[in-house]
Every structure is written in C-alpha cells, then in structure tokens.
Amino acid sequence: MTVTDNRPKSDNRPLTLQDIGCKDEALLNDWHVVGYSTDFESGRPYSVTLLGRDLAVWRDSTGELHVWEDLCIHRGARLSGGTIINNQIACPYHGWRYNTEAKCTLIPSAPRDKPMAKARAFPWAVQERYGFAWVCLGDPANDVPAFPQWDDEAQKKVHAGPFEFGANGYRALENFVDITHFPFVHSGINGDPDNPDEIHPYSVEMTDEGLVTSEIPVFQPIGDSRGRPTISGYTYRIQRPLVAAFTKRLFDVDENHRPISDDVNYFTVYATAQLVSETHSIIRTCVAVTKEGAVSDQTIKDRVTMVFTQDEAIVGTQRPERIPAELRYELHHRNDLLAQQYRSWLRSLGITYGVI
Ligand code: FES
Ligand SMILES: [Fe+2]
C-alpha cells in the first residue's frame, strides 16, 4: 500500500477549512472515493467536490496521484483550472507554479525571487486501491475498508458506475443495504411484487469491519446477469459510514423456487458513496463474480446500472433529504434492523454533515 502524504503541518491549513463544507472529524479522518483510478490521466488537472469542498486532482508524470485543496494561496483561484507545465501545476490567475511536493517553484512576475516558504498548495493524503482513488481530508484514522474478493483471482472484477444520486449519500447507502424494496423497485428482476418474500428475523453485529448481518434469503426472478431465477442469500456489511458491500450466494432454482443443483454462485458488490454535498452523492461500485465470469463485462455493468438507476429514482424523492439519524423521526420495522443500526452508528460517531 502506498499512501502519499505531503500535507503541511496543521498550522498551515487553508482558511477554506473553516469556511465551508463538513467539519465532522469522523468523516474528515476517513477515506473517501473521489473517482476511479482510470478517471485521472496525467497532463491535466481535474476538479472534484467532496464533503462540500472543492479539490484539484492530478496525476504526475511518474503516475502518482495528487489531491489538493482546489485553492492557490496567492489569491484563492482554483488550481484545477490551471495547466500542467513540466510536471507542475501552473495557477490560471498569475501563473504561480507548484511542484509534486506542493511547493511553489516560480512566481512568473518575479522569476529571480525564491518563492516564500508559505507559498504552498494544500495536499491531502491519497491512495489508489481496488481501482478507486481515495482521499482523506484529515488524519487517516483507519485504512480503506477491506474488499477481500479483490485478491481472489477466481472471481472476475468489474467496475460499474459512477451513479449520480440527486440525493443524500447515507440515504443512497441505506438503500443499497435495504432488502425489502426489491420486489417493488426492482420488480421482475430482484423480486416479485405479486409474491414478495417474507423476511425472517436476521441479526446484525458490530465487528471490527463494521456492521455485518446474518444471511438473508430471497427469491429473485432474474437473480444475476446470467438471466436465471435464483434463491439469493444476502450478507450485508456496512464497513464505514460511506462504504458498504453485500455478498450473495445464488442457487439456481425452478419456477417453484426449488434448487435445481447444489452449485453455488457468488456475487459481491462493493459500493462507495462520495458525499459531494449534503444532498448530492456519487456511488461507485466494483462487482466480484464467480460463475458470471462467463458473462461479458458489459452485461454485468448493464444490470448494475439498471438497478442503481431504479434506486436513484426513489432515493431522490425521499424527504427530508438529509437522513434523520434519530430513530424517532421515521418508522422502523424489525426488517429495517440494519438501517436502524446504521443510523445509530452515524449518531454515535458524532456525524452531523448530511444528517438532520
Ligand atoms: S491566485 Fe494563483 S497565482 Fe495568483
Ligand atoms: Fe435497490
């Protein structure tokens, strides 16, 4: 694991930290996905927004990724609007240049002056894992959440997304781990609206890897990209406030829901939510599959895209837009045990950004 951390000492952090966006330590000290690794090519800077804060992202000529506050210390112009010259970012306003260590190397109107020591950009810790670009806007308290299937060569990995949600990221994540919406939001695929599954009590445990459920079985008319009916056993994990995964064990079944073989197929989705703002988020996923490895990557992506498009249409309508973390503001059935625990976890972490 390579973590790049050129951050200046805390007495030299930008004023924008006090001005806008998230102030919650639990979120600032966590890792957040801001893109796929393949989104960022060298030779130009990119602009992304995380937790209400503007960031400049660029890949240098050695391939190393940099994520900086999108701010030039001179007069506050956006470095993401600049250009890359000789492996340095040149600010679009007065052309000050910043090298890969975030130090200003040139003030074009005074080329013979050594730039002041405080003439620096504001870099954040960054790493690339599982094909995602992760950034931490504070002091990293944990590593990025585990994705054990990534290292299993028997499982094919396919990235799907990004899925723009005109919705709060916790609401989007909670939807991702919600078992009872399948027959209605994903009718004919993940569930049958005329014969919804009865969900039997399941357990949720807080572990070192976050909240983990026992396996929850449901019938799915088209359980996966192979186009077969299945009984699917879902095990959910909410690993961090904005990272979750499920693994489902799929058994192919006949029209009466009876297994037609002992063969098991595994399908995992690892999902990350980028909180752009309190009410706008971007979901990115990586899917790991066993038998579906025979299906084309595009077929797998198409199915995941269809499911998240159906989800967004509902999650974008939920009100209040910010998630009510106090349980008394919405009604929770025992089937919603995981969501209850998730909201209580957000509260115990002291999270206020995106929460009502
Ligand atoms: S604001 Fe960037 S060089 Fe002046
Ligand atoms: Fe869904």
CATH class of 10-136: mainly beta
Distance 311 CA to ligand 2 centre (A): 5
Ligand 1 atom nearest residue 76's Cα: 1
pLDDT at 16: 75
Please name which ligand lies nearest the alpha carbon of 190: 2
Phi-psi region of 23 (alpha: psi -120 to 50; beta: other; left: phi over 0): alpha
CA angle, 320 as apex, 197 and 306 as ends, to 5°?
A: 45
Distance 274 CA to ligand 1 centre (A): 29
User: 59-110 pLDDT, tens per residue?
Assistant: 999 999 999 999 999 999 999 999 999 999 999 999 999 999 999 999 999 9
User: 293-311 pLDDT, tens per residue?
Assistant: 779 999 999 999 999 999 9
User: 114-127 pLDDT, tens per residue?
Assistant: 999 999 999 999 99
Please name which ligand lies nearest the alpha carbon of 174: 2
Closest of 251, 265, 178, 242 to residue 220, by C-alpha: 251
Are 172 and 164 spatial neighbours (Cβ–Cβ below 8 Å)? no
Distance 81 CA to ligand 1 centre (A): 11
**DSSP state for residue 253 in the 8-state scheme:** B
Distance 108 CA to ligand 1 centre (A): 10
Give the global pTM. Answer: 0.96
Distance 304 CA to ligand 2 centre (A): 10
Ligand 1 atom nearest residue 107's Cα: 3
Distance 127 CA to ligand 2 centre (A): 29
* Residues that place a CB less than 5 A from ion ligand 2: 311
Closest of 89, 48, 113, 56 to residue 281, by C-alpha: 48
pLDDT at 288: 96
Query: What is the arithmetic mean of pLDDT over 125-145?
Result: 97
Same topology between domain 10-136 and domain 148-348: no
Please name which ligand lies nearest the alpha carbon of 177: 2
Please name which ligand lies nearest the alpha carbon of 71: 1
Q: How confident is the model at residue 182 (pLDDT cuts 50, 70, 90)?
A: very high
pLDDT at 262: 86
CA 30, distance to chain mean position in Å, is 12
Nearest-angstrom CA–CA distance, 282 and 269: 15
69, 75, 80: which to mutate for ligand 1, most atoms within 8 A of CB?
75
Residues with CB under 6 A from ligand 1: 72, 74-75, 77, 91, 93-94, 96
pLDDT at 302: 96
> What's the topology of domain 148-348?
Naphthalene 1,2-dioxygenase Alpha Subunit; Chain A, domain 1 (3.90.380)
Percentage of residues of the chain with pLDDT beyond 70: 97
Domain extent listing, the chain: 10-136, 148-348
Residue nearest to atom 4 of ligand 1 (CA): 94
Dihedral sign of CA atoms 283, 141, 352, 208 in order:
positive
Residue nearest to atom 1 of ligand 1 (CA): 75
pLDDT at 201: 97
Distance 98 CA to ligand 2 centre (A): 44
Distance 308 CA to ligand 2 centre (A): 6
Ligand 1 atom nearest residue 79's Cα: 2
User: 202-251 pLDDT, tens per residue?
Assistant: 999 999 999 999 999 999 999 888 888 999 999 999 999 999 999 999 99
pLDDT at 19: 78
pLDDT at 6: 67
Query: What is the arithmetic mean of pLDDT over 175-201?
Result: 97
Percentage of residues of the chain with pLDDT beyond 90: 89
Q: Looking at the predicted structure, is the pLDDT value of residue 10 above 70? A: no
Nearest-angstrom CA–CA distance, 132 and 272: 9
Q: Looking at the predicted structure, is the pLDDT value of residue 11 above 60? A: no
78, 94, 105, 120: which to mutate for ligand 1, most atoms within 8 A of CB?
94
First to last CA, the chain: 36
pLDDT at 8: 58
Please name which ligand lies nearest the alpha carbon of 180: 2
Distance 117 CA to ligand 2 centre (A): 51
